[in-house]
């Protein structure tokens, strides 16, 4: 553990130097995506309460073939939390004092720089702090994950591929924002695949549609069956008889809200049947009420021997930009919670 903290300190020095060089250009936040600074007393950081927060932030990104932490963690003591460190893009301030009666979270956007998210965790004592961060692990990790995805959405708004958007519109009557490097594409029946077609990090987007029957459409077995049939028909391997399939044992689905509407998120691993290729994927399936069909949008990554977490999360942000017929473009992913409800045949979310 001591070795890890020492390495984090070395990273912090680098960020400080980079931030100092950029001070004259204005209040632009410093640091890379998914880097996070914890402002906490050194002794507290070493005690169980501090270790609990560290372990939450150091937890694995779900749906990857190998262990990769959610964030690159740095820390500094409150006395060293100066004007330069306040420019870092993601900050957690640990505030434990007996003046508080319960654990409270407060956050501020763009407090000292932009884009930036500063989260303060106030607690009356270390025991309650430790219990809170442990019990609310997903909420804390999700808070900063959504903040990073919102930054990517902001970039895509001005820098997405207009060529891919036009293709998606011509096939599905929908819009979506994808990174400009996805310049290669393939069109099939109710199917579209775009890729950067490069090594060592191969980024991919897939979109397909099929009729919406009933709520059983949004079950894990049905999703895997449908995905396998679509991918087998449209994404063959390099050798005859090989094709993309889903690792059903490592696929998780859950209900989320996208653009104020129900969506089923699927996250897991894909593999090439009859070959050794594989990697992570994330998909959203939503009901196009106007046309009574399901639209599935998916991103997947192939980067053997390379880290995948930040690439799959950068691509995942694009899924939230899907605009079904009649919808407005998404501005930001909601930070404060998610509503979960299944759609009904022939109705919109506003009818409920």
Domains of the chain listed by start with CATH number:
2-138 (no CATH), 160-351 (3.40.1000.10)
Q: pTM value?
A: 0.86
Q: How confident is the model at residue 337 (pLDDT cuts 50, 70, 90)?
A: very low
Question: Which pLDDT score, from 0 to 100, does residue 62 have?
Answer: 95
**Is 350 a residue whose pLDDT tops 50?**
no
* Rounded CA separation 209/285 (Å): 9
**Is 1 a residue whose pLDDT tops 50?**
no
**Is 24 a residue whose pLDDT tops 70?**
no
Range of lowest pLDDT (24-38, 147-161, 300-314)? 24-38
The 10s digit of each residue's pLDDT in 209-219 is: 999 988 889 99
Q: How confident is the model at residue 305 (pLDDT cuts 50, 70, 90)?
A: confident
List own/partner pairs for 61-65 with CB under 8 A and 24 or more apart.
61/309, 61/312, 61/313, 62/252, 62/267, 63/250, 63/252, 63/267, 63/268, 63/269, 63/280, 63/281, 63/282, 63/312, 64/280, 64/308, 64/309, 64/312, 65/269, 65/278, 65/279, 65/280, 65/308
Question: C-alpha angle with apex 110: 101 to 53, nearest 5 degrees?
Answer: 45
Average of per-residue pLDDT across 225-235: 96
Q: How confident is the model at residue 30 (pLDDT cuts 50, 70, 90)?
A: very high
The H-or-E segment that residue 41 falls in is none
Average of per-residue pLDDT across 301-305: 93
**Is 286 a residue whose pLDDT tops 70?**
yes
The 10s digit of each residue's pLDDT in 44-103 is: 999 999 999 999 999 999 999 999 999 999 999 999 999 999 999 999 999 999 999 999
Average of per-residue pLDDT across 150-174: 96
**Is 238 a residue whose pLDDT tops 60?**
yes
The 10s digit of each residue's pLDDT in 182-223 is: 999 999 999 999 999 999 999 999 999 999 988 889 999 999
Question: Which pLDDT score, from 0 to 100, does residue 74 have?
Answer: 98
Q: How confident is the model at residue 336 (pLDDT cuts 50, 70, 90)?
A: low
Q: Would you state the structure tokens that stand for residue 170, as one six-digit string?
A: 């011509």
The H-or-E segment that residue 132 falls in is helix 126-135
């Amino acid at each position: 553990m001591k070795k890890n903290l020492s390495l984090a300190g070395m990273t912090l020095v680098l960020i400080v130097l980079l931030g100092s060089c950029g001070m004259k250009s204005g209040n632009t936040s410093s640091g890379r995506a998914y880097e996070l600074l914890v402002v906490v007393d050194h002794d507290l950081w070493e005690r169980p309460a501090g270790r609990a927060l560290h372990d939450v932030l150091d937890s694995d990104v779900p749906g990857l073939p190998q262990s990769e932490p959610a964030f690159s963690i740095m820390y500094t003591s409150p006395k060293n939390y100066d004007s330069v460190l306040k420019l870092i893009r993601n900050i957690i301030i640990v505030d434990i004092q007996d003046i508080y009666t319960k654990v409270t979270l407060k956050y501020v956007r763009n407090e000292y720089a932009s884009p930036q998210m500063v989260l303060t965790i106030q607690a009356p004592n270390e025991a309650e702090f430790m219990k809170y961060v442990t019990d609310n692990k997903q909420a804390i990790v999700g808070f900063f994950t959504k903040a990073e995805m919102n930054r990517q959405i902001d970039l895509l708004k001005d820098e997405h591929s207009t060529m891919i958007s036009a293709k998606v519109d011509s096939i599905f009557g929908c819009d979506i924002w994808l990174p400009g490097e996805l310049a290669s594409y393939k069109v099939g029946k109710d199917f579209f695949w775009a890729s950067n077609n490069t090594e060592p990090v191969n980024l991919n987007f897939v979109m397909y549609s099929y009729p919406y029957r009933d709520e059983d459409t949004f079950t894990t077995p049905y999703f895997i069956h449908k995905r396998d049939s679509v991918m087998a028909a449209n994404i063959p391997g390099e050798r005859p008889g090989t094709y993309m399939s889903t690792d059903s044992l490592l696929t998780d689905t859950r209900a989320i809200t996208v653009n104020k509407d129900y969506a089923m998120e699927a996250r897991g691993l894909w593999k090439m049947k009859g070959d050794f290729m594989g990697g992570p994927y994330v998909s959203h399936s939503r009901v196009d009420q106007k046309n009574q069909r399901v639209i599935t949008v998916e991103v997947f990554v192939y980067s053997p021997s390379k880290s995948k977490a930040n690439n799959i999360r950068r691509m995942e942000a694009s899924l939230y930009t899907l605009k079904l017929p009649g919808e407005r473009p998404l501005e930001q992913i909601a930070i404060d919670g998610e509503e979960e409800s299944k759609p009904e045949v022939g109705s919109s979310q506003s009818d409920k």
